A and B are shown apart, each in its own frame.
Chain A
Amino acid sequence: MRKVTILFVLLLFAGVQVAFAQRTVTGTVTRADDGSPLPGVTVLVQGTTIGQLTDAEGRYTIQVPNNQAVLNFSFIGFTPQSVTVGSQSAINIRMDEALLQMDEVVVTALGIKRESKKLGYSVSTIDTEEMLTNKAVNMMESLEGKVSGLNITPPAAGAGASTQIRLRGQVAFAGANNSPLLVINGLPMDQGANSADGYGASRDLGDNMNSLNPDDIESMTVLKGATAAAIYGSRAANGAIIITTKSGAKNQGIGVEYSSSLTLQEVLDYFEFQDVYGLGVNGQKPISAADATSNGQFGWGAKYDGSLVPAFNGDLIPYEFQPNRLKQYFNTGSVFANTLAFSGGNEHGSFRASFARTDTKGIEPTNEYKRNIANLGVTYDITEKVNFSVNVNYTNESYINPPQIGTQGEGSMNFLTRVSQSIPLDIIEKSAINPATGTEWPVAGWTTINNPYYAHQVGQSYIRNRDILLGTATLRYDITDWLYAQGRFNYDYSLSFTESKVPGGIGTSQPMHTDGTWKGAYNVSENMGTNINSDFLIGANRDFGRLSVDASFGGNTFRIKNHNFYVNSSHFTVRDLYSIANGVDKSQGFGFSQSRVNSLYGMAELGWNSTFFLNFTGREDWFSVLNPNSNSKFYSSVSGSVLFSEFLEDLDWLDYGKLRGSWAQVGSANGVNTYEGYLKYGINADQFNGQTLASISGSGAPNPNLQPFTVTEKEIGLELRMFSNRLHIDLAAFDKVTTDQILNVMLSTASGYSTSKKNLGSLKNQGIELMVQFTPVETNNFRWTSSVNHSFLKTEVLSVGVDPDGTPIDDMLVIAFNTTGMEFLGELHYTVGMPMNMLYTRTYLRNDDGDILLRDNGRLLASNDYIPVGSSLPKHTGGWNNTFSYKNLTLGVFFDYKFGGTVLSATLLNATRQGLSMLSLEGRREGEAGLTFPGVYQSTGEPNTSVVTDLQGFYGDYRNLQIGDPFTFKSDFVKLRNISLSYDLTSLMRGSSFLGFIKGLTLTGSVRNVYTLYKDIPNLDPEALQSSGDMRAGYENSALPTTRNYMFSINAKF
């Protein structure tokens, strides 16, 4: 930290020695169309750092060195102008609005900037300014619903959690990395999501996006399709997101920028538990503390009557419904984020240095996330032709007690939704520890329901500290005006240390093991990883008459090295003393892996008459993880575009029209692990009578012939800008087929091995993406811009492998949730001919007419088979974004939606079988003496007339028989996601002599998750899923509640 400060100071001094002004020029900048003054126009002396902004009346005053000085005037949305000063002392400028932004430049793969008209594929540029009005700790969350084809799902997993990022569907089966490649200042990296996966005590430990400060982002481009990302070859299977951080701007003098935001997170409680019957079974109130404990999970008791009944801890409490336990238990979350940035630039270069601190308190008590980010960007022209730039981003983050979610056992949501709603939270808190044993005082009869206060009170903790250093150095040499060469070195270093204290008394009354030691565990682990990416690029760009040629050739080496250590210690000799030394049982481990990919690539773009464009890319990758005999693979793409508006010049309303098409093949070596191609050996821990014993490790036969899987994508698109650029339409359609996915296959054990991996599975994603931007109203003071994006995604599983004898398999069970031991219902399958991520459950047993069949006693029967009930993937996603500006006031209103997905809810299943949900009231409402379920007898076909009075048994059958019907929902929603209001006080400040030193000041207030306009699932937010991984797709269980976030931010420039 201290070093960073010193660095800042040095940089400040370096930047201060700037201009030596000699003469003053003044003037006014006005709009060409109506003559009104233009404030905020940048006025720069070309080739220097001398610059000014025009004031509220459009006036400027600037010092120029001599008569040869050239003044550059620029303002977003207007055509820039340059004027040589000569002998003039007053220069007034009229600026024309730049109606056509056809020459918009976008950052494409490898960081190459391209005119968007030349692209034969779809890219989306993120409005990074707007993103800040809707700031989230993990900036990906701000992008939900904003970009067509980009599906963001933020799981409800606590402060600093990861998000699920999917571009154009899920490219490969679960297990592969399906999130796009993140390219940060040229360093390609995986998202690295540490999702909660539902097995055991699961915690979400964020992802690599957390290491970036949203305030530091200069630009962000989403390369949705394979063609756009094709140059990344084997890493481009999922598209790519290109992120560039700020390096300041030349000739701007010294500036200081400060932004601060405070976000408060309010828990949204959608739950509606039944409030008629209290704790107990058989319609009885608890008669003793033991009774209250053993039935604490049930709401099958008597009607609430307010009488005093024993609680689990022996207290006498009123037998009453406790309505607000969720809001009582969870805190108001908060995010306090501050960024201080210095930037400066002269004619030779620029820098920007920033420091950001984010303090997040989760809604789960004890959960915190803290982050410090120091970011430095420097660019410097060593000579006229040689530029050197460096970006360094250092992040230190702490995940403090990330909540345990999505599973039975520990975790507050599992507890709060599964103990009877008649137990008040204050006694749960007060009596968390059983004074007799020091262990958890059970509130319910099941050891898989654990009182979260116990863990808090006895000092359970889980802390991960992580340091990440991302560094990039780039040297660029402009050999001639049409030829350049560039070399770049990227370094990514991360070190994380995890410490976990596990109290011995959770879920038990016995604090000791049978061997006389204390229960509990203390675990530490350390992971170190480095990624090194170095590349070179030679680019040429030349026009030959009407023919333009842009060609690049490059190469790259990408090196990954990781290792980790862990020590676990348990069976304590001193109770609750968390130390490695205190454990009688210790285990330790060390893991190591390294891999390398070397690549050569080239691309060529041909343009004719600025109307026809043709692009080719090719890339050869060499993989260290593949068989040395065939370790390389070639990836290529071709794309083209036609600016057909060039032929339609008589259509006045059409400003710009482009038709594009592309084909690309990319891949992913994800799934071919390091060291997987050869055998390893193991030595038994103990000698056999003094003799060492060894054997071949593992039961998997290495398959040295594994190859990366391949994605082939075709895309066509149409882009139109009309009515003086007030309507902008971008339409894209794609077809993406993934083949040769790597799947586990079962072997005959006579082969010596039981499994191996083969290239087998395939799937298809097809979609249509539409983006419409329009400006319905535009006057001098008021402007309303609106943009709608919509994506339609159709997925299909094409193949999940073959039997040993070659017969195709038509279904693959990915996970049977109920068999994990921690989950409750349903299965996830990949079924040939069906959409991806198909959820299956048993259903009611029905006859051919669709009647529900029942036993003679009126109880339920389950279907024999698991039946597909829907895919977890939404078919339609999109958003509608509106910006209203009036003078300096900007209002943003953003809606988003997802339709067509399915979710299975374990929380509602449990709440029902335990008698807590509204559904469990059926049969015991006022006047009901039991349940006569609508259906017919299986034996006779006659309508059911049996009255079931054992409702606990009846609803328990849903769990026992695994009937999923009442717990299968559409995950559809429409949300008013965000409202933001910004006020730009800049001109106000400038008017004041006292506050004139403030060059910019913006205040923003926003609300996120304002209102859910539509959802199908009751009691829960359809987005409150547990995991950003693909293995838990569509499975809801004990995730944290969603929050409504109120953000206030201030952004000042000095």
Chain B
Amino acid sequence: MKKIKQVIFIFAALLLIGGCDKDFVEVNTDPFAINEIEPGLLFAGAQRTYLGGWEGEHTIVQQFVNPFNDGATLFVNFNENVDNFQNGCWGSYSGSIKNFVHILHLLEGTTDKVNLQSMTRIWKAQAMMIMVDTYSNVPYFNVGLAAIMGEEYFYPSYDNDEAIYEDLYNEITEALDNLNPSGDFVADDLFFGANAYYPSNDAATQVAKWKKLGNSVLLRLGMRYSKLDPTKAKSIVAEAFDGGVMTSNEDNAFVVYDGTKYTNGSNNGLVNNQPKFYYAAEPFVDHLKNTNDPRSKYMIAMFDDPGDPLGTAVPGVDLEDQFGVPVGVVRTALPDSPYRGVKEQGYDYSQMNVNVMASLLAPSFYLTYAQTSLLLAEAAHRGWIPGGETAAQQYYEDAIRADMDVMALYISETGSSYAPISGAEQDAYIAQANVAYNAANALDLINTQYWVVCLRNGAEAWSNFRRSGYPALNRNEWDDQLLEYGGDGFVHRYTYPDAELSNNKSNYQAAVAALEGGRDDLRNRVFWDVELLP
């Protein structure tokens, strides 16, 4: 009897005294989920950042053309502002950038992962730089924090593009200072970690590579100021140069694909999904032809059926047989004179070579020695780094050779039967009058090479084109839309995603108001893009 009484009261007391929310945190933690993660794995997951796309950036710089203007494929080849094509870069916010921000949050206040932290800061700066270059003012200081900081961060405000660049400079330089050869080894790093194409096995080796990568990012950032503020450009470029930039192809930041579990998805459309829509652009093809560029066969080819390029056993790669689709011509015009007409499912023009550079097995290059060396060539030419024109020429030629050497990697990765470019071919190419370094024409030569080198990095190709004004391209004359409001006929920025108007209205409206003329359009320019293109 007494026992029962006791049981009841003990039970009641337990509930009261034991605390009414005892163990609740544990109860509300899914024991079967991944609730904690090694931040290095997040870094690996986020490391493949935005590179631009064929139908966007590569089309703006006239390397690529989709002449179909029917509905869903209408975009910059027809000077049109179409929302979904411009949102890919913005997608980095919920992809790479969210995870970078999260890694930095997880590592906040820790000291044992300083190298991972620094790599994340450098690579996040690289990704944000592309974001600014693409849209101008964008959310920066408060991004990716919705899950960490709560409701105040659901609708980030837009930050001034120049101010973001200032912070990117600080982030990169601080991270470079913090990199520690005797610190943590980030085995998960896709570029220089244990499973990278050129793997490192210790922190010292890896940190040396990241120092070069970080300084190369800094060099890229410094060069962006070349027209806006040459003094500042010079100072940053010199700092990067002094810190040590990439010196060989083994320093390249890139990944390769196994072709089954992972592929180069940006080439998917060209290979599988309606290949007949996609062609090489005339200015690019003509440049390759005019310079007898030995890289051409890896880049472009003629296929028996443009609708089924993989079905062509031996694609035509002879340079004289290559023809690019003229810019701003609609597909309904292509069958007739003066154009080359129909071939099978498509048109009788060159396409990207789906067996090599447009293959699903093509590696993705984020930042390369060749790009870096070309930027150094310009810096030397401008006198921002030592060595004068001699050095400039050396950097220029090294870059061309490095890029040609990289073709060997494409060949091995894609299983292509083409031969690598020999030293003799490289020499012959560089010796040509319209290729050989010439101080009087240095900026054109260097930046036109940069354009070729950036064939698989549209975002960088577009930025450098806007920055340098080279190569000298003619505007797309499909219509005069891009000449309105004092435009020069070229696309200078992407517009913000339409979804921002509905989901981030007041910040979006403030951001648009801050743009020149209050216009969220393709003509407005990023802060460093100060001169109209010729």
Beta-carbon contacts under 8 Å, B1-58 to A:
1, 4-5, 7-9, 11-12, 15-16, 20-21, 23-25, 27-38, 41-42, 44-46
Q: Tell me the smallest distance from the CB of A798 to a CB of chain B, in Å.
A: 22
Assess whether A681 is in contact with B34, with CB atoms less than 8 Å apart: yes
Q: A681-B34, A690-B195 are in contact. Are A628 and B44 (CB under 8 A)?
A: no
| Contact code string B141-155 (vs A, CB < 8 Å = 1, else 0) | 001111100110111
Q: List the A side residues contacting B23 at CB < 8 Å.
A: 596
Closest to B31 in A: A592
With beta carbons under 8 angstroms apart, the residue of A383, A485, A694 that contacts B41 is A694
| Contact code string B425-469 (vs A, CB < 8 Å = 1, else 0) | 000000000000000000000000000000000000000000000
Q: List the B side residues contacting A596 at CB < 8 Å.
A: 23-24, 27
Assess whether B94 is in contact with A701, with CB atoms less than 8 Å apart: no
Assess whether B94 is in contact with A699, with CB atoms less than 8 Å apart: yes
Q: List the B side residues contacting A628 at CB < 8 Å.
A: 21, 24-25
| Contact code string B260-286 (vs A, CB < 8 Å = 1, else 0) | 011000000000000000000000000
Q: List the B side residues contacting A487 at CB < 8 Å.
A: 7-8, 11
Assess whether A678 is in contact with B4, with CB atoms less than 8 Å apart: no
Beta-carbon contacts under 8 Å, A589-638 to B:
590, 592-596, 598-600, 620, 622-625, 628, 631-632
Assess whether A624 is in contact with B27, with CB atoms less than 8 Å apart: yes
Q: List the A side residues contacting B37 at CB < 8 Å.
A: 681, 694
Contacts A536-B15, A751-B143 supplied; 15 other A-B pairs, CB < 8 Å: A592-B32, A598-B15, A620-B20, A631-B24, A674-B30, A686-B261, A689-B257, A690-B195, A691-B193, A694-B41, A694-B45, A746-B499, A748-B156, A751-B93, A803-B505
Q: List the A side residues contacting B46 at CB < 8 Å.
A: 695
B98 within 8 A of A: yes
Assess whether B1 is in contact with A386, with CB atoms less than 8 Å apart: yes
Q: A536-B8, A681-B42 are in contact. Are A688 and B505 (CB under 8 A)?
A: no
- Contact-size category for B: 35 or more
- Among A204-212, A702-710, A916-924, the stretch that binds chain B is A702-710
Q: List the A side residues contacting B502 at CB < 8 Å.
A: 746
Assess whether B31 is in contact with A477, with CB atoms less than 8 Å apart: no
A953 within 8 A of B: no
CA of A674 to CA of B32 in the docked complex: distance in angstroms?
Answer: 13
Q: List the B side residues contacting A804 at CB < 8 Å.
A: 154-155, 503-506
Q: List the A side residues contacting B188 at CB < 8 Å.
A: 691-692
A653 within 8 A of B: no
Beta-carbon contacts under 8 Å, B504-522 to A:
504-507
Q: Tell me the smallest distance from the CB of A708 to a CB of chain B, in Å.
A: 15
Q: Tell me the smallest distance from the CB of A600 to a CB of chain B, in Å.
A: 7
* 7 tightest Cβ-Cβ pairs between the two chains A and B: A752-B98, A748-B504, A694-B41, A751-B146, A686-B261, A701-B146, A752-B144
Q: List the A side residues contacting B8 at CB < 8 Å.
A: 475, 477, 485-487, 536
A645 within 8 A of B: no
Assess whether A595 is in contact with B20, with CB atoms less than 8 Å apart: no
Assess whether A622 is in contact with B4, with CB atoms less than 8 Å apart: no
Q: Tell me the smallest distance from the CB of A151 to a CB of chain B, in Å.
A: 35
B90 within 8 A of A: yes
CA of A720 to CA of B25 in the docked complex: distance in angstroms?
Answer: 52
Assess whether B97 is in contact with A752, with CB atoms less than 8 Å apart: yes
Q: Tell me the smallest distance from the CB of A777 to a CB of chain B, in Å.
A: 52
Q: Tell me the smallest distance from the CB of A749 to a CB of chain B, in Å.
A: 5
Q: Tell me the smallest distance from the CB of B408 to a CB of chain A, in Å.
A: 19
Assess whether A756 is in contact with B154, with CB atoms less than 8 Å apart: yes
Q: Tell me the smallest distance from the CB of B92 to a CB of chain A, in Å.
A: 10
Beta-carbon contacts under 8 Å, B377-431 to A:
none
| Contact code string B173-204 (vs A, CB < 8 Å = 1, else 0) | 00000000000000010100111010000000
Beta-carbon contacts under 8 Å, A375-408 to B:
382-383, 385-386
Assess whether B503 is in contact with A749, with CB atoms less than 8 Å apart: yes
Q: Tell me the smallest distance from the CB of A468 to a CB of chain B, in Å.
A: 24
B113 within 8 A of A: no
A1011 within 8 A of B: no
| Contact code string A466-478 (vs B, CB < 8 Å = 1, else 0) | 0000000001010
| Contact code string B488-505 (vs A, CB < 8 Å = 1, else 0) | 000000000101101111
A780 within 8 A of B: no
Q: List the A side residues contacting B12 at CB < 8 Å.
A: 536, 538, 555
Beta-carbon contacts under 8 Å, A660-703 to B:
674-675, 677-684, 686-697, 699, 701-703
CA of A477 to CA of B5 in the docked complex: distance in angstroms?
Answer: 7
With beta carbons under 8 angstroms apart, the residue of B31, B143, B193 that contacts A752 is B143
Assess whether B24 is in contact with A624, with CB atoms less than 8 Å apart: yes
CA of A383 to CA of B258 in the docked complex: distance in angstroms?
Answer: 77
Assess whether A751 is in contact with B261, with CB atoms less than 8 Å apart: no
With beta carbons under 8 angstroms apart, the residue of B44, B94, B195, B258 that contacts A694 is B44
Q: List the A side residues contacting B262 at CB < 8 Å.
A: 686, 688-689
Q: List the A side residues contacting B45 at CB < 8 Å.
A: 684, 693-695
Beta-carbon contacts under 8 Å, A742-760 to B:
745-754, 756, 758
Assess whether B154 is in contact with A678, with CB atoms less than 8 Å apart: no
Beta-carbon contacts under 8 Å, A489-533 to B:
none
Beta-carbon contacts under 8 Å, A729-770 to B:
745-754, 756, 758
Assess whether B11 is in contact with A688, with CB atoms less than 8 Å apart: no
Beta-carbon contacts under 8 Å, B294-342 to A:
none
With beta carbons under 8 angstroms apart, the residue of B190, B497, B503 that contacts A691 is B190
B255 within 8 A of A: yes
CA of A632 to CA of B101 in the docked complex: distance in angstroms?
Answer: 32
With beta carbons under 8 angstroms apart, the residue of B35, B194, B500 that contacts A748 is B500
Q: A674-B30, A696-B98 are in contact. Are A747 and B503 (CB under 8 A)?
A: yes
Q: Tell me the smallest distance from the CB of B390 to a CB of chain A, in Å.
A: 40
B534 within 8 A of A: no
Q: List the B side residues contacting A692 at CB < 8 Å.
A: 41, 44, 188
Q: Tell me the smallest distance from the CB of B243 to a CB of chain A, in Å.
A: 28
Which interface residue of B21, B102, B255 has the most chain A CB atoms within 10 A?
Answer: B21
Assess whether B500 is in contact with A557, with CB atoms less than 8 Å apart: no
Assess whether A681 is in contact with B28, with CB atoms less than 8 Å apart: no
Q: List the B side residues contacting A751 at CB < 8 Å.
A: 93, 143-146, 153-156
A479 within 8 A of B: yes
Q: List the B side residues contacting A696 at CB < 8 Å.
A: 42, 98-99, 102, 147
Assess whether A590 is in contact with B32, with CB atoms less than 8 Å apart: yes
Assess whether A747 is in contact with B155, with CB atoms less than 8 Å apart: yes
| Contact code string B131-175 (vs A, CB < 8 Å = 1, else 0) | 000000011000111110011011110000000000000000000
Closest to B153 in A: A751
Beta-carbon contacts under 8 Å, A830-879 to B:
none
CA of A695 to CA of B38 in the docked complex: distance in angstroms?
Answer: 10
Assess whether A624 is in contact with B28, with CB atoms less than 8 Å apart: yes
A805 within 8 A of B: yes
A-B contact pairs, 7 of them (CB 8 A): A485-B5, A487-B7, A628-B25, A681-B36, A697-B34, A750-B500, A752-B143
Which interface residue of B1, B147, B258 has the most chain A CB atoms within 10 A?
Answer: B147
Q: List the B side residues contacting A386 at CB < 8 Å.
A: 1, 4
Assess whether A752 is in contact with B21, with CB atoms less than 8 Å apart: no
Assess whether B35 is in contact with A678, with CB atoms less than 8 Å apart: yes
Q: List the B side residues contacting A695 at CB < 8 Å.
A: 42, 45-46, 99
Q: List the B side residues contacting A689 at CB < 8 Å.
A: 190, 195, 197, 255-258, 262
Q: Tell me the smallest distance from the CB of A743 to a CB of chain B, in Å.
A: 14
With beta carbons under 8 angstroms apart, the residue of B4, B11, B33, B90 that contacts A749 is B90
Assess whether B34 is in contact with A753, with CB atoms less than 8 Å apart: no
Q: Tell me the smallest distance from the CB of A1031 to a CB of chain B, in Å.
A: 23
With beta carbons under 8 angstroms apart, the residue of B11, B20, B35 that contacts A598 is B20
Q: List the B side residues contacting A632 at CB < 8 Å.
A: 20-21
Q: A695-B45, A750-B138, A750-B139 are in contact. Are A600 and B147 (CB under 8 A)?
A: no
CA of A178 to CA of B44 in the docked complex: distance in angstroms?
Answer: 44
Closest to A700 in B: B147
CA of A534 to CA of B10 in the docked complex: distance in angstroms?
Answer: 13
Q: List the A side residues contacting B9 at CB < 8 Å.
A: 485
Which interface residue of A622, A677, A701 has the most chain B CB atoms within 10 A?
Answer: A701
CA of A361 to CA of B471 in the docked complex: distance in angstroms?
Answer: 79
